[in-house]
Amino acid sequence: MPGTPAGRWAVPPDGTPPETSPVITGCGLAVSGLRDEYDLLEPTATGAEHDPDAGRAGPGMRHKDRASRLALHAVRRALAGAALPDPAATAVVVSSNFGNLDTVCDFTDTIAAETVTGLSPIRVPHMSSNVTAGWVALEHSLRGPNITLCSGTTSGLDAVFWAATLLAAGRAEAAVVVGVEPDTAPVARLHREHGARSWLDGAACLIVEKPEHARARGVRPRAVITGYGRAARRDDAVRQATKAYDRPLGLWVAPGPGGLDLTARLGRCSGALGVLQCAAAAARFDRSADDAVQAVAGDEHTGARTEGDPGGVAALLLTRPESGHPGGDRHDIRV
């Protein structure tokens, strides 16, 4: 319907009461040089360089593709050792544009050199674009809807929107949202051929749940997912996302000058960008008095900038929870 933002989930026409909007209650990162989401706010890296995929031979990691290992690390950190109370009612939403590209390319090389008999049967599931979402569900017995999005640079913010939509539609009580992009040989070649000098090798995870679900299990809401928009132009996407919000915006987390530009620091983040942006927003509410963070991903100019993505621009408005207060504890959980 023209004029209706395709991206908002305001259920009744009079608007969704804020307390029913889904909340982010957990964040986990597996990114070199970053200890946790608070490091996303620092203009210079503070954490020691480390391989985000360290422990690849650890429990549950052997024989998995790199994207899935990174994602599993991020999910373990986000859950911080706590199991979700109702795995049957927990959805998984993964955003990744290049997660299985190495398996796809490796397989064609192997077939050319050795025919199909050279392929490893263990790696066969890795050729599917949804392999990571499958492993995340399997490791934590998550039986709700299991969605993989590969929609370009908007994909990470889209993933948070779809998680919120699944909750609003009564399909789940909670969702594990992951953005992951591994640095593999084909990914590096693709980025280099298209003007990039650096790109992410890592994953981010958010736990998104209904506020009453968070209350019932005694976890602290860290950010409220308040609005979403998707449009050809950035202004229009932001307008859709902020339609029901009239207070001042605090931080902008967006590519380009004038806000927190995670791609300036981490390189192209592709499908992981939006998820990292939301983690940064959750950290920001703990470290400032801002009431809102506006996350923007995607490119309104489909030519040279960023990844030349024609999928338009996605905008997600995150707001401070009612009960929120600055100064949340830094969690140093290491898995």
Tell me 270's DSSP state. G
Matching residue, tokens 């050199």: 113
CB of residue 252 vs other proteins: minimum separation in angstroms?
21
Q: Which of 17, 43, 59, 121 binds other proteins (CB under 8 A)?
A: 121
Q: Does 245 bind other proteins (CB under 8 A)?
A: no
CA 300 to chain centre: 20
Give every CB contact of residue 19 below 8 A, 6+ residues apart in sequence: 211, 322
Q: Which stretch binds other proteins (CB under 8 A): 29-37, 39-47, 73-81, 111-119?
A: 111-119
CB of residue 54 vs other proteins: minimum separation in angstroms?
24
Residue placing its CB nearer to other proteins in the complex, 172 or 283: 172
List the alpha helices (DSSP H) in the chain.
Answer: 66-79, 101-114, 131-140, 155-168, 185-193, 211-216, 234-241, 262-266, 273-287
**230, 240 in Cβ contact below 8 A?**
yes
Binding mask 12-31 for other proteins (x = CB under 8 A): xx------------------
**288, 281 in Cβ contact below 8 A?**
no
CB of residue 199 vs other proteins: minimum separation in angstroms?
10
- CA 142/CA 244 separation, integer angstroms: 33
Residue placing its CB nearer to other proteins in the complex, 38 or 98: 98
Tell which positions 215-244 bind other proteins, by CB under 8 A.
Answer: 230-233
Tell which positions 64-93 bind other proteins, by CB under 8 A.
Answer: 87, 92
- CA 230/CA 24 separation, integer angstroms: 21
What percent helix, strand, coil does the chain show, rounded to 5? 35, 20, 45
CB of residue 1 vs other proteins: minimum separation in angstroms?
4
Q: Which of 67, 70, 137, 254 binds other proteins (CB under 8 A)?
A: 137
Tell which positions 266-285 bind other proteins, by CB under 8 A.
Answer: 270
Of the candidates 186, 179, 183, 86, which has an alpha carbon nearest to the alpha carbon of residue 136?
A: 179
Residue placing its CB nearer to other proteins in the complex, 203 or 231: 231
List the alpha helices (DSSP H) in 221-270.
Answer: 234-241, 262-266
Q: Which stretch binds other proteins (CB under 8 A): 48-56, 200-208, 247-255, 311-319?
A: 311-319
Q: Does 127 bind other proteins (CB under 8 A)?
A: yes
Residue placing its CB nearer to other proteins in the complex, 226 or 270: 270
